[in-house]
């Protein structure tokens, strides 16, 4: 499933870029994320973190364990974010490029990528997959904006 969109953050691109690469911010803002532990760099040179995530939308809940990888850094214009996780309800892989474009005093963070899911969520969740992905992304950026608000 293709995903794409943009979100406005009240920070200049260079700061927005740093914030979105900050593992503590990512951990705080990824919905249901417990923690991110740096596990080093992958063979491809990606910065990798181990993550545990409890996704919950309404009564639907899933525990995912996996990795978050930051790749192709091109500060301050873009980088690639790869999130992979698996749990009893299935597995997912989201991969997207985030692009930072100045917009007045703030930044338009544009994202474009693809989400693949497997297991039960893929087999029975089609009807709500797209809408759920959007919901999670919206929630993530909402939390990032709030975190930025706190920092300022």
Place of tokens 């029975």: 124
Q: Of how many residues is the chain composed?
A: 152
| Closer CB to another protein, 27 or 115, in the complex | 115
Residue 58 beta carbon to another protein: minimum distance, rounded to whole angstroms: 4
149 burial level (CB within 10 Å; 0-12, 13-18, 19+): exposed
| Closer CB to another protein, 38 or 134, in the complex | 134
| Angle between helix 13-21 and 126-151 (nearest 10) | 110
Residue 106 beta carbon to another protein: minimum distance, rounded to whole angstroms: 20
Footprint of another protein (CB under 8 A): 5, 57-62, 88-91, 116-132, 134-135, 138
| Closer CB to another protein, 99 or 132, in the complex | 132
Residue 142 beta carbon to another protein: minimum distance, rounded to whole angstroms: 10
Which positions ≥6 away from 109 have C-beta within 8 Å? 6, 7, 8, 9, 16, 20, 98, 99, 100, 141
Residue 151 beta carbon to another protein: minimum distance, rounded to whole angstroms: 25
């Amino acid at each position: 499933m293709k995903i794409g969109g943009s979100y406005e953050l009240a920070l200049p691109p260079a700061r927005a870029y740093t914030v979105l690469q900050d593992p503590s911010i990512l951990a705080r803002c990824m919905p249901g994320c417990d923690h991110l532990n740096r596990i080093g760099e992958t063979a491809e040179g990606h910065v990798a973190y181990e993550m545990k995530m409890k996704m919950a939308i309404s009564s639907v809940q899933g525990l995912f364990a996996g990795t978050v990888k930051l790749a192709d850094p091109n500060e301050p214009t873009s980088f690639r974010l790869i999130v992979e996780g698996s749990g009893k309800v299935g597995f997912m892989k989201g991969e997207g490029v985030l692009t930072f474009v100045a917009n007045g005093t703030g930044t338009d963070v544009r994202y474009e990528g693809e989400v693949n899911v497997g297991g039960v969520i893929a087999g029975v969740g089609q009807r709500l997959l797209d809408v759920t992905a959007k919901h999670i992304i919206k929630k993530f950026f909402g939390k990032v904006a709030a975190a930025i608000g706190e920092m300022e």
